[in-house]
A and B are shown apart, each in its own frame.
Chain A
């Protein structure tokens, strides 16, 4: 009954939606307002104005950098939220969580350990070259985060967490937010507005380092947050 009702309702809702999409400008056409209005400026002036060959990076870090600042705040919020919801008072003495009942297969362990350096190198490449090639801070950071999760799975969280002691982790988690603030405020002091980058003049050489700094911040922060969320859910310390 409930299913049928829901279905009916949704089908009813689909009619205006489908009619509306049929009236939207045709997908893929180069004459769409989405392609003729703002984007030509990005594509033509982008490399010149922002120093990024990758226009997607130009958009997310420069033209609409404030959005990305908001986005790293969202994921930081998620971390705070997970901690706020899940952390329970520390037990007086540490109760050792029983290791998983099924021992980790040595094959898995070997593969993760062998691949780890390559994964790290790949992600670092992604992070620092984000302005000129596909990829960027998030992509790289998430890869490192995934590596940390994989390591936790095969080696146990405690051993993995030793790589990032709590004091360090606390600083790394907000890295993206803080890096944005540092670069943004520097831009504000030097070039007028928050998150401004130089377009010309004597500070032009700062542009790429700044972008890279932000990418590194996003990457490090992303990795730390993804891993910490995993640890918090697993029940060990965030």
Chain B
């Protein structure tokens, strides 16, 4: 059932307006905070109000402008888009609170919060895109809006990271645009559909190349190896940026793009015929393992997080590439699970840096005594990554493994298990350092982070547990993911 509704447009517009209002507020801090938080709440409300409908299988549509017949800006909310949007806008609210505390003493705050809001706006645009062109449009805007955040520090290092980021993502954008144009030529339409818009008539070789182009294009943002180079460098950005953008918005936009391409442009059947998805799965598996191994060697907290992100994102890609309903379910639900887990960790890293000034893992000895709540949240997230039952990560791994078994490729199950082990190998030592290793001669005293930093962290950590233990409760992300999977696989 399709319903024309203004809300799919409203959601990105609210954040867009917020961005401009923040720019105009300039250095008036009160207004800036007011607009940011108000917009985040309104935005969440708008997105959330569509949830019941989407769960019932309603698709909200809104066509804004047509450039030429058949090509235009249009929005459509289906379960998958809803899922992504919901994750982004709820995390935006939490991150805004965190950022207000974190950025207290920073320069250029109007620019920071303005572009922050613009990024969210474009992310929701990506989620609600009705066609490939709209998707591309917001995908590119996201690149541009993130750049000022990456170079926020204005140090030479930041500038260099920014340049690297732009080169990677814009080249990716070119591939997406190229793919979009070719798709239009072959399919005559760009509207994302339930079962894919391409068919075999375009030829096996051409379709394979097209798929590769799309994977490269979206894979840059999803940081599939070897296209991941920008992500660790971009960690020079302030912690809230790393948290929201490099754990949620930007990288998930890439992963989301791959999901869209797989299910809505090519369609499951066509990809199965082509037999190329298995190669994508192989690349994803490679990324999962190798990124984890690299993460082991990183001493800087945020860089280790970055490599962990790279590894985790490929779960989503892997799930998409396996082309079975259960794997897809795992992939989609991992959008939320990974987001909450990773954002908790980034919050923790930021809080530690702000409160104690430490950025390296070997400096964290005894931090568990100084900041017990913060590190408690960290522990929860770490356990989630390892995949301990009752945490969010377990759900993902469970469905992904089931999906892998469905295909009969046991090797992917092995990959998932290896990844768990590696995750354990690089997170458990941190926990050990924090709680069990006190530097001699230092008498630890509790010195928690400011409440604006602490509250969001703990909220996220609690949600990680909820995601894992109450996954089957109606209204939790899993039910939405299930709707999405049913939509694409037509159970």
Would A and B touch once assembled, by the CB under 8 A criterion? Answer: no
The residues of B with any CB-CB pair to A shorter than 8 Å are none
